[in-house]
Amino acid sequence: MTRQQNLLVNPEDLKFGLDTFGDVTDGDYVKGLKNVVEQAKLADQVGLYTFNVGEHHRDDYGISAPDTVLSHIAGVTENIHLGTAVIVLSSDDPVRIYERFSTIQALSGNRVQLTVGRGSFIESFPLFGYSLSDYEELFEEKLGMLVEIVNNRPVTWQGKHTQSLEEQEIWPPLDKDKMPIYVAVGGSPQSVVRAAKHDLGLRLAIIGGAVSRFAPFADLYRRAQEEFGHEPGKSVGWHSHGLVADTDEEAVEAFYEKHVAHVTRLGNERGWGAMTPERFNHELRSGALFVGSPETVARKITKGIKALGADSFDLKIGTGSQEAILKSIELYGTKVVPMVRDMIADGE
């Protein structure tokens, strides 16, 4: 038995969710937000564990206030957990984050989880008056403050980039064991160690290349957890882009055009290479695109779970028509998830 297989959890304990940024694919911002709510309601109905929304401040992503969106979704769903993917902690106030999300936690019946990040998209920094020269320090300090607020009452904190607090009570009260916090990591070993230091779960953003390339990050996290003296077993998961359809061909047809347009725009902004047909097909076959029939996607997820020793996977949705996305959610919840559980149980 391999080390990764030793790390696998009971198949029934695996958690499967969805991530969305509220993609504005047709120029209609209001429709995009309403689409997100419809997606969340269906995700709840098909039994998915989490529905996560990501913060952005740009014209192609519609969710700039994740807490507001999640508060609405909490009122129209019953069981699904509600999370962020991510909230940009560096340009926010940890006190206000705690207040906003503990309020949703109370209203939703303890269904909230937080994933925080440094900010792969940096539009929020100038928007809220922060300097990118403080990029690392802001996240380090604010993560420490958020952990302090969640874990201790009253709060005493000495800040450089944040306010200082002295024996401060913060409301509403929150049971710290009922709102897990995860740190999102793209490619920074320092962020992996930071998550372990604070005894927080790890979420890997794998948007290119084979999932197995990120196994060293999962290994580093577990080693660091041990070195910091924490109990083992904190959650390790990842998110990747994808779409499920009845056949591989239908999935590619529904996904390809809008995905290429999106990646091309980001590539122009960030200096990435173009999304050529050859690159797309490589990502489809052995990279980070989870696009295909239920069996195709299930086998790829199973392979990723084994490579990372992961206990959760979130499918990033938003590319394609609303009809295609809703079909994808239905197939993901009713076909893909049971297949993955069976494959893990059978040792495939």
Question: Cα 159 to chain center, whole Å?
Answer: 28
CATH architecture under which domain 13-346 falls: Alpha-Beta Barrel (3.20)
Cβ within 8 Å of residue 82, ≥6 positions away: 50, 51, 52, 70, 73, 74, 104, 108, 111, 112, 113
Average pLDDT over residues 208-223: 97
In which element (H, E) is residue 204 found? Answer: strand 201-205
Cβ within 8 Å of residue 293, ≥6 positions away: 244, 245, 246, 247, 248, 251
pLDDT classification of 9: cutoffs 50, 70, 90: confident
- Sole residue written with tokens 């005894």: 199
Convert 235-280 into a string of H (helix), E (strand) and C (coil).
CEEEEEEEEECCCHHHHHHHHHHHHHHHHHHHHHHHCCCCCCHHHH
Residue 38: predicted pLDDT: 98
Token code pair at residue 238: 């990842």
pLDDT classification of 7: cutoffs 50, 70, 90: low
Residue 312: predicted pLDDT: 98
- Residues paired with 181 in a beta bridge: 114
- DSSP assignment of 213-232 equals GGHHHHHHHHHHHHHTTPPS
pTM of this structure: 0.95
Average pLDDT over residues 285-310: 97
- Residues paired with 313 in a beta bridge: 16, 238
**28-71 confidence digits (pLDDT tens):** 899 999 999 999 999 999 999 999 999 999 999 999 999 999 99
Residue 6: predicted pLDDT: 52
In which element (H, E) is residue 50 found? Answer: strand 50-53
Instruction: Show me where the domains of the chain are located.
Output: 13-346
**177-186 confidence digits (pLDDT tens):** 778 999 999 9
Q: Is the distance from CB of 201 to CB of 233 less than 8 angstroms?
A: no
- Sole residue written with tokens 């999932």: 211
pLDDT classification of 92: cutoffs 50, 70, 90: very high
pLDDT classification of 176: cutoffs 50, 70, 90: low
Whether the per-residue pLDDT at 25 is higher than 80: the answer is no
**Higher-scoring residue by pLDDT: 7, 290:** 290
**57-68 confidence digits (pLDDT tens):** 999 999 999 999
Q: Is the distance from CB of 228 to CB of 196 less than 8 angstroms?
A: yes
Residue 298: predicted pLDDT: 99
- φ, ψ of residue 319 to 5 degrees: the values are -95, 120
Whether the per-residue pLDDT at 5 is higher than 70: the answer is no
Most confident range, picked from 27-36, 167-176, 238-247, 253-262: 238-247
Whole-angstrom distance, CA of residue 216 vs CA of residue 338 = 28
The rounded mean pLDDT for the chain is 94
Whether the per-residue pLDDT at 310 is higher than 90: the answer is yes
